[in-house]
Amino acid sequence: MRLDLYQECFEQETYYWWHIAKQRLVISLVKKHFGNKKIKILDLGCGTGAILAKLRTSGAVFGADNSKIALRFARKRGLKNLYLCDFNKDPLPFADNYYDVILILDVIEHIKNPMLILSEISRVLAPDGLLIATVPAYQSLWSYWDKILGHYRRYSRKSLIRLLKNHDFHPIYTSYLHAAILAPATLARFIRQKKYELNKNQVEIENIPSDFRPLPKWLNNILLSISSMERLILLRLSLPFGLSVIAICQKNKP
């Protein structure tokens, strides 16, 4: 990921609707499956650590990321059990069958070949533990922003399920996310992509503004309210379309 985006992410994770919506959904899913039980949680690709910081009340939290800069920001949130790890080539530095929950949120698309990391997740996840994974949806929405973020691909619900099943996981719940904003977000991305194609020879990629553009407070609040209503649905049902895909999995029994 472009280095200047870590500072932006660290700041936006405290108020920007997209980040807050993800945090609240993950916390709700953990509470739904584990209640008040104290558990061990590992966030792979923890970034600047906002979700882990919110999950500290659920038990012991651990994070791993391939960026020293991201981990530096995560430590500013008071997080301690943080590890530097390249998911493309490094085995995870954790014991077998240890974690009750493993999060891999918007990370798989950054990994050229996910075989190693998914195998390692299966190794360190407890027999009755849960893997919660999210990925960006629809290859048709591929744009310059995916390149800036270092993505290799986007996923459909079906392709994510196939990937997980092929690597020893049993999905118990899958859904699309952010269904309500799919149409306007698709239109906005199309316009930005066309604008990028017209100007790409004149603008350095480091100077292209983030897709997480500043929003008026009223609009940010509306989008946050929409995501809150969607979260209530997601805790009971699946959505047939959206900007992201989520899967909750158990590993197959030996």
Q: Domain ranges for the chain, please list them.
A: 5-251
Of 4 and 121, the one with more pLDDT: 121
Q: How far, in Å, CA of 102 to CA of 176, rounded?
A: 19
pLDDT in tens, 18-45: 999 999 999 999 999 999 999 999 999 9
What pLDDT is attached to residue 206?
64
Q: How far is CA 80 from CA 23, 65, 87, 126, in A?
A: 19, 13, 20, 22
Q: Looking at the predicted structure, is the pLDDT value of residue 195 above 90?
A: no
CB count in 10 Å sphere of residue 168: 17
Contact criterion met (CB below 8 Å) for 223 and 229:
no
The mean per-residue pLDDT over the stretch 2-24 comes to: 91
Of 82 and 193, the one with more pLDDT: 82
Q: How far, in Å, CA of 54 to CA of 41, rounded?
A: 12
pLDDT above 70 as % of the chain: 95
What pLDDT is attached to residue 34?
97
Q: Looking at the predicted structure, is the pLDDT value of residue 8 above 70?
A: yes
Q: How far, in Å, CA of 213 to CA of 218, rounded?
A: 14
Q: How far, in Å, CA of 212 to CA of 248, rounded?
A: 26
Beta bridge partners of 170: 250
pLDDT in tens, 111-157: 999 999 999 999 999 999 999 999 999 999 999 889 888 899 999 99
Q: Looking at the predicted structure, is the pLDDT value of residue 76 above 80?
A: yes
Q: How far, in Å, CA of 107 to CA of 230, rounded?
A: 22
Q: Looking at the predicted structure, is the pLDDT value of residue 253 above 80?
A: no
Q: How far, in Å, CA of 7 to CA of 179, rounded?
A: 28
**Helix or strand holding residue 37 (H, E):** none
CATH number, domain 5-251: 3.40.50.150
Contact criterion met (CB below 8 Å) for 97 and 68:
no
Question: Phi first, then psi: what are they for 62, rounded to 5°?
Answer: -135, 145
Q: How far, in Å, CA of 28 to CA of 34, rounded?
A: 10
Q: How far is CA 235 from CA 17, 68, 145, 248, in A?
A: 19, 34, 30, 12
Q: How far is CA 75 from CA 2, 82, 106, 161, in A?
A: 20, 8, 21, 34
What pLDDT is attached to residue 149?
87
| pTM score | 0.94
